[in-house]
Amino acid sequence: MTAYTAPPQSKVIWLTGLSGAGKSTIAQGLERALKSQNIPVSVLDGDVLRASLNKDLGFIKEDRIENIRRAAVMAKSLVDSGSIVIVALISPYAEGRLKARELFQEGEFLEVFINTPLEVCIQRDPKGLYTKALKGEVKNFTGIDAPYEAPLNPELSLDTQKYSVSELIEFITRRLKLIAN
């Protein structure tokens, strides 16, 4: 059995980007990397939250901001318990992300922009949602008929076209000093 290693300062790693950008894939890989180092980690995935805690919310601006608020409150509770929390959430509005950041102490909230162009997300379309949105079957879809306000000053901006998922995870862990070298 591997000895428990004290985690780095608990914090939230807030992955934001368009649908299909790679947030969930990166979150799952990052979770595995941290767990392999015996670091307490939790993932709050937007799809899971929408199917459970936030199933009463729609996709208008106010509901999206409430979705972010609820995720942030949950993340704060987990951070306060000593965990690193990875939030994988489109979180399209700068206002919502700023309100989330305000719940945390300095250095506890790390915004990571999964910077994938809309055209690439449309090509990936893992859930077929862009196809439906472009046909008008899905309304208020971020990037199509609802805005996405890209972060202006994220702690990290990751280009998913230049790097593999494993390279991005390594970059996150080193840059954010999540795993001791």
Q: Which residues are catalytic?
A: 91
One-character DSSP codes across the chain: -PPP-PPSSP-EEEEE--TTSSHHHHHHHHHHHHHTTT--EEEEEHHHHHHTTTTT--SSHHHHHHHHHHHHHHHHHHHHTT-EEEEE-----HHHHHHHHHTS-TTTEEEEEEE--HHHHHHH-TTSHHHHHHTTSS-S-BTTTB-----SS-SEEEETTTS-HHHHHHHHHHHTT-S--
Alpha-carbon span 56 to 68, nearest angstrom: 13
Both tokens of residue 94? 């700068």
Alpha-carbon span 123 to 84, nearest angstrom: 32
Alpha-carbon span 160 to 18, nearest angstrom: 12
